[in-house]
Amino acid sequence: MELLIKLFSITVFASTLRIATPVILASLGGCMSERSGVINIGLEGMMLMGAFSAVVGSWFFGAWTGLLLGVLTGGLMGLLHAFMSVTLKANQIISATAINIMAVGLPNILIPVIWENHYGISPTVPVIADINLPLISSIPIIGDIIGHQNPIVYIALLLVPLISFLLFKTKLGLRIRAVGEHPLAADTLGINVYRMRYIAVTISGLLAGLGGAFLSIAYQSQFSSAMTAGRGFIGLAAMIFGRWSPKGALLACLLFGFADAFQASAQSAGVPIPPEIMLSFPYVLTLVALVGLFGKTALSPAANGKPYYKG
């Protein structure tokens, strides 16, 4: 019983939110990109580049500039993916795989150039500090969970309804979804398919960059090689689980976040399961969650992954 109380303490729920944040941002990026018909498995690499740029920015100019730089770098990677898959009509999985490979290598080259005698891991940099929400933090349990968090956690939570609104309630969102479902029909109605996809994939990159920046200058205070550890892919899985909708994805992300927070607290509570096995828990859960979708109508946007050739 004592163990159970330890395992399900309030700190577990608070850290669930923190751990879920980068995954939420990745899954929002996935929603944007795939709703416009571009598969984006490059979210992982975009996050990683965002994380790296954020640390560089934070080192030279302070944490908030770092955040901005991380977001913009993610956007730039999104633009690259859009150029490859929309303009050049490259295979979207190959293009994104190249981004993922580059994002592992490039920081390792630049780290020793920027910081002498550092390899694969940056020095610690200024971070974005947690804040107290004035009123909410004084509410007993809820306050303990959401009252004292990082600003980016709040931003991510706010972005969920915002992206949902953008996609389903605005003209731009309607157009983005139209080119993802039936680009030819959208084209005949005068919608610029290429422009919509460029916008959507770039926003997707910006979101991934924000997720990466959160990892390196808020959740941790340094960059280390391949530090995203599959979170971009888990975000993508969450998006599928949430049927390509931000709100559904949020629930899946919280589930994964909880799995991770739970394993961390189980470890510190001394549950006799080897840490390596516990660490694989979120990945196993992702697989199980995807299998659990079987038989339900989990339809992706009709034109997802198909390049559009303007006549």
* Residue 141 vs 293, nearer CB to other proteins: 293
Collect all residues with Cβ–Cβ distance below 8 Å to 211 and sequence separation of at least 6. 21, 22, 23, 24, 25, 26, 29, 47, 50, 74, 156, 231, 232, 235
Q: Please identify, using beta-carbon distances, which residue of 13 and 241 lies nearer to other proteins.
A: 241
Q: Largest alpha-carbon pair distance within the chain?
A: 68
* Least spacing, CB of residue 59 vs other proteins, in Å: 17
Nearest CB to other proteins, comparing residues 111 and 156: 111
- How far apart are alpha carbons 53 and 74 in whole angstroms? 9
Task: Tell me how far, at minimum, the Cβ of 266 lies from other proteins, in Å.
Answer: 15
Closest approach of other proteins to the CB of residue 159, in Å: 22
Cβ of residue 46: shortest distance to other proteins, in angstroms?
13
We find the least distance from the C-beta atom of residue 243 to other proteins, in angstroms, to be 13
Contact call for residues 269 and 6 (beta carbons, < 8 A): yes
Binding site for other proteins (CB under 8 A): 41, 84, 88-91, 93-95, 97-99, 101-102, 104-106, 108-113, 119, 229-230, 233-234, 236-237, 240, 274-277, 279-280, 283-284, 286-287, 290-291, 293-294, 298, 307, 309, 311
In the complex with other proteins, which residue's Cβ is closer, 49 or 199? 49
Give least dist CB 73 to other proteins, A: 16
